[in-house]
Structure 1
């Protein structure tokens, strides 16, 4: 995105003043052996190059993304007049979920300011007559939220869509035995219970990444609750050194100290070479138990096998949502 490019700092802060002088500029490379048309090249270059150009000549202390956003529409008008087929990323609607006092709040935004955002919560495609977004809104039931941006009644973006699941653990407090990696926080402290599922194609959306051999988290449901099912999603992406855990355990407790095991499964195929990329969702059904606390443990007993470039290292554990029904 233009935001990601703009936030790039060509001179790393850990360099001394003497070392920094050797950073003489920036460049943007694009390999075109799989790009059949020049129009597509343009859509990948612009408007990202506008961000890159500005950070190339602007010192870190003078960078101002909000000011850049306000100036961007004028540059897009110029690109229109020049016939440049720039990408429509700045018009794309980002759908985000926050938790406010334990309740899901959905917010919608675009990189380009001043756009009309229209949305639906029933899975239908948004049109110019759909609800106009003004401020974050509540999401208290399982919903498919779709949104798009409009200018003068004309659709300017692709349809953004996110499925949100509301369940008994949604928005509840999570205690972690070991911390998730800051680069892959899945939405922060509530990432395991924010109603968002990850998907195979992106390791940065909704996934929490753990580099320790064991991932362990406890959800406080706040009161003794009838529990019929527990599930969690785990990602395998061997190219990223992310493997399915060797073992997954679910437990329930009334007091947060004495836990009863309700699910324990070992996976003999978790290091199989043929499994390149997939999402596995271990599920304990028909439990008919009660408890206030639910604990999930994912364990890596074995390192990355010898057929992989990371042989001998312990793989990552990536988990998206702990669902309690």
Structure 2
């Protein structure tokens, strides 16, 4: 099952983890897997005889890399295979994992150590976007800073999700008895006028809908924290944070992003990010336009520009673009992004569809308004 048991996928922040095939499933998410769904037909339940952890080796050049990908999630799958779902308990499991790591260390198993670190996320609570920190190590303290400095045992203690203002460089680590357990994890967060707000897009987003909250969520299941306004920008390590759009002649090769500020505000800048990855049929926006309205009906254009891109010879690149304009009052905002153009099928990308020239997709993250 893809959301839980592919151990070749990322299990910690892709920006800092060893490169692998993609996806994202932590130890906690793997442990939450129920191979015998409660609502399954009783006859079906009788014929489910086991579980499988899938681990493809394309990105694993050594025994240490295979250890890192398989463990500790293989332990979670083993317990899942031998334990009825109603008897599984995450808190009990993570308490026992402390000794399991000692056992793996003694056996020279080079397991992923995210268990000792802090995972940084964002989530909308009652309409407000907040930063959420979590460590899997039982009864550990989370200490954090917002200025990019490394946290110590005397740094701010995390007790609950919190709001922030503007741009922060959030750094966090887990501590036990004033001793740091793992490494420091960081994430840059961007608060702006549309942080956490619902929005609409034309066309609707495709197979990637942006980052998710909650270890047990299947990708895209979170309906409150949407990928384009979750306070985090995309990266070139993983597709998970990005929102994917298929653009073609039917939608005028354009993406239209619309958002309601809920009350008038003075705005003067829009920032957005798009991705270059031609092998995956993705090109960045070639042009952008910003329109505003006070009533949601009549819109006026306040900014428009086109882009001449410099692409790397190999690999991916993320572009972050800024449109600045004379301060203007607005409640409703439209941001229109133009397709990056076409690709030579079988030359710029793998040819698995007909046609010599094909339209590129657009991957977007984040859209910010100031």
TM-score (norm 1): 0.81
Q: 2:323 pairs with 284, 288, 293, which one?
A: 284
For the pair 1:238 / 2:283, whether they are aligned, the reply is no
For the pair 1:220 / 2:255, whether they are aligned, the reply is no
For the pair 1:119 / 2:144, whether they are aligned, the reply is yes
Q: Note closer, same or farther for the CA distance 1:256–1:51 as it changes in structure 2 (3 Å cut).
A: same
Query: 2:130 is matched with which residue?
Result: 105
1:189 is displaced (CA, Å) by 4.9
1:186-205, Cα deviation, whole Å (9 max, x unpaired)? 35554323322111212213
Give matches, 1:262-281, under 5 Å: 262-267=302-307, 274=313, 276-281=315-320
Give matches, 1:138-157, under 5 Å: 138-157=163-182
The answer to whether the 8 Å contact 1:10/1:23 transfers is no
Q: 1:42 pairs with 59, 63, 67, which one?
A: 67
Q: 1:200 pairs with 236, 250, 270, which one?
A: 236
1:263 is displaced (CA, Å) by 3.1
1:137 is displaced (CA, Å) by 2.1
* Aligned mates of 1:286, 1:51 — CA distance in 2: 52
Query: 1:162 is matched with which residue?
Result: 187
How many residue pairs get aligned? The number is 322
Q: Which runs of 5+ in 1 are unaligned?
A: none
* Aligned mates of 2:206, 2:46 — CA distance in 1: 29
Q: Note closer, same or farther for the CA distance 1:110–1:19 as it changes in structure 2 (3 Å cut).
A: closer
The answer to whether the 8 Å contact 1:230/1:322 transfers is yes
Query: 1:72 is matched with which residue?
Result: 97
3-state SS, counterpart of residue 157 of structure 1: coil
Q: Which runs of 5+ in 2 are unaligned?
A: 1-25, 213-223, 249-253
* Aligned mates of 1:105, 1:7 — CA distance in 2: 24
* Aligned mates of 2:40, 2:313 — CA distance in 1: 41
- Give the root-mean-square deviation of aligned CA atoms: 3.6
For the pair 1:322 / 2:361, whether they are aligned, the reply is no
1:231 is displaced (CA, Å) by 1.9
* Aligned mates of 2:197, 2:279 — CA distance in 1: 33
Query: 1:26 is matched with which residue?
Result: 52
1:16 is displaced (CA, Å) by 11
The answer to whether the 8 Å contact 2:269/2:324 transfers is yes
TM-score (norm 2): 0.72
